[in-house]
Amino acid sequence: MVQSPTTLAGRPKLRGRRLAFVLALCLPVTLGAGISTASAATPVQAATLTPVNVPGTSPMIASAVPLADFGYTESEFYATGEATRYRLGTNPLATAQVIDSGWDYKTRVLVRAPRPEDFNGTLIVEWANVTLGQDMDFAWAESHEYLLREGYAFATVSAQKVGVDRLKTWSPERYGSLSVDASNVDPAGGLVDARNDPLSFDIYSQISQALQQNAGAVEPLPGLDVSRMIALGESQSAGRLTTYYNQIQPLTELFDGFVYLDRAGQLRADQSTPAISVNSEAIGFDRVSPTSSEFVRVWDVAGATHASYYGAQYVDAVVLRDRSLMEGGQTASFTQVIEPCAVNPIWSTVDVGLALNAAIDSVNEWIVSGRPAAPSTYFARDAQGLVLRDAQGRVIGGLQLPQFTVPTDQIGAVNTGSGFCRLVGWHRDYSASQLKAMYRNHGGYVSKVTAAAHELVQQGYLLRYDSQQQTREAAQSDVAR
């Protein structure tokens, strides 16, 4: 059943993407002009993938949307192999060194596959985020509608100890045999990995390699021929993939592109692998974004929070169904774990997923045709690096989506309070009289949304489908009627 997110007052939120939550549950890659690959890549050993078959249980963080409605299937596989440990060194922009290999591991990967006739040739591999103390596919939460619409194959890899250990406590029967443990001591001195995940980079590589090869007694991607592979990660996972891009990718040359959601660190400029980092105002208002280069783009998104109102709803649906988050001894949603903050309700209604859609699409096109993505777009800043704001306190510059430039809510990207409050922002609905004063009439509102969305399409920061959906939803709304 399709649901429209509502405020406490019951007015539908405007959004260019369809919500559908359920609580029960080719051709070879063409290198574009200027994109080159070296010939000395170190071969990556593919993990062995075995279907998970534990009657009476289901995967943790299984899709919260009915994938069959989109012609997709969802499968879970155990992934086993012998992983390599890497020495990252003190220079974050220098290629890693191999310490040793042969470390046994067993983890899992969740795979979502379209019908062969619908497959666009590209596999997206998300590095599961573990900030909540469990796996979560936050980037999928923001962009799943686009990914399903466009026929991507998608996988979420459990690469880190925190996530794997939570899987084991959540379902000992299903996940009790998993382990990504290994010595974190470097024979040369010090620690291998600051997060105690010394195998994580190679585990991510090996599982991705196995998915790309699509081999095994049971194909993880039935009938699909993967031509391109894009690495995807949000927040702490974006941090892990920053290290991967800078230090591991030069060794493996495994991925054809990278997309980061809030956000990548500084990416080295001597690689020819396309990458885009989509950054929120909540993260970036007091931190200058990394610089871009020939193959790296940085898009700062005005008014965006670390998760959007819409992405948070998806995550709420997943953790409530799975009963995987607790607050005060009770099962809680993602939103409930964070609230209350100084200003409520939390989350910005700026749909950062629209920018993420465009980033994924742009990287995919960059790989296929060599056409570079739209230029980097940054917030304006003062001499101290803080963002500049207009008379209404709204950030100046950056990628400004229609929900920001033609708002139906007062939006704040930064909040205060305990825990994650700083990152979640807030929104407050404008009253009917305020909306009338802002737009005069309904036609005026629709016209402004249409113009704002069209301009972003022309600039390359919004997909045409999403632009048209923004206009349709504006027309169907009751704003300024």
Per-residue pLDDT tens digits for 339-360: 999 999 999 999 999 999 999 9
In the predicted model, is pLDDT for residue 470 greater than 80? yes
Q: What is the pLDDT of residue 328?
A: 86
* Other C-beta atoms lying within 10 Å of the C-beta of residue 241: 30
The answer to whether residue 198 sits within a structural domain is yes
Residue 179 domain-assigned? Answer: yes
Spatial contact of 367 and 274, defined as CB atoms under 8 Å apart: yes
Whether residue 463 is predicted with pLDDT greater than 70 in this model: the reply is yes
Angle at 279 (CA atoms; ends 114, 377), nearest 5 degrees: 105
Query: From residue 376, how far is each of 292, 373, 452, 466 by CA, in Å?
Result: 7, 9, 19, 20
pLDDT of residue 12: 36
* 316-330 pLDDT tens trace: 999 999 999 998 889
How far apart, in whole angstroms, are the C-alpha atoms of residue 453 and residue 466? 8
| Cα angle 181, 187, 190; round to 5 | 80
Closest CA to 236 of 288, 178, 159, 302: 159
Render pLDDT for 266-291 as a digit per residue (tens, 0 to 9).
999 999 999 999 999 999 988 888 99
DSSP annotation of 133 reads S
CB atoms inside a 10 Å sphere around CB 234: 30
Domain containing residue 113: 48-380
User: Coil, strand, or helix at residue 387?
Assistant: strand
240 inside domain: yes
Averaged pLDDT score across all residues of the chain: 92
pLDDT reported for residue 16: 38
Residue 206's Cβ-count burial label (10 Å; 0-12, 13-18, 19+) is: buried
The dihedrals phi and psi of 144, each to the nearest 5 degrees, come to: -60, -35
Counted domains in the chain: 1
Residue 262 lies in a domain: yes
Query: For position 59, what pLDDT does the model report?
Result: 98
pLDDT at 410 > cutoff 90: yes
Q: What's the pLDDT at 24?
A: 34
Helices (H) and strands (E) in the chain, counts: 15, 13
Judge whether residue 81 has pLDDT over 70. Answer: yes
Q: What is the pLDDT of residues 43-69, one digit of tens each?
A: 999 999 999 999 989 999 999 999 999
Question: Is 228 part of a structural domain of the chain?
Answer: yes
Query: Looking at the predicted structure, is the pLDDT value of residue 94 above 60?
Result: yes
Q: How far apart are CA 284 and CA 449, in angstroms?
A: 26
Q: Please state whether beta strands 326-327 and 296-301 pair in parallel, antiparallel, or not at all (unpaired).
A: unpaired
Distance CA 111, CA 157 (A): 9
Q: Is residue 21 scored above 50 in pLDDT?
A: no
Q: How far apart are the first and last CA of the chain?
A: 28
Stronger pLDDT, 36 or 289, i.e. the higher one: 289
* CA angle, 426 then 431 then 437, to 5°: 115
Q: Is residue 415 part of a domain?
A: no
Q: How far is CA 304 from CA 36, 331, 395, 414, 435, in A?
A: 34, 28, 11, 9, 21
CA-based nearest residue to 209, from 78, 85, 45: 45
Which residues lie across from 258 on neighbouring strands? 231, 275
In-domain check, residue 344? yes
Q: What is the CATH number of the domain that holds 298?
A: 3.40.50.1820
Nearest to 221 by CA among 238, 203, 240, 207: 207
Encode pLDDT of 371-389 as tens digits: 999 999 999 999 989 999 9
- Cis ω before 11 (30° cut-off from 0): no
- Write out pLDDT tens, residues 136-174: 999 999 999 999 999 999 999 999 999 999 999 999 999
Instruction: Provide the strand spans (E) within 171-235.
Output: 228-234
Query: How far is 449 from 456, CA to CA, in rounded Å?
Result: 11
How far is the C-alpha of 415 from the C-alpha of 424, rounded, in Å?
Answer: 6
Contact 356, 259 (CB under 8 A): yes
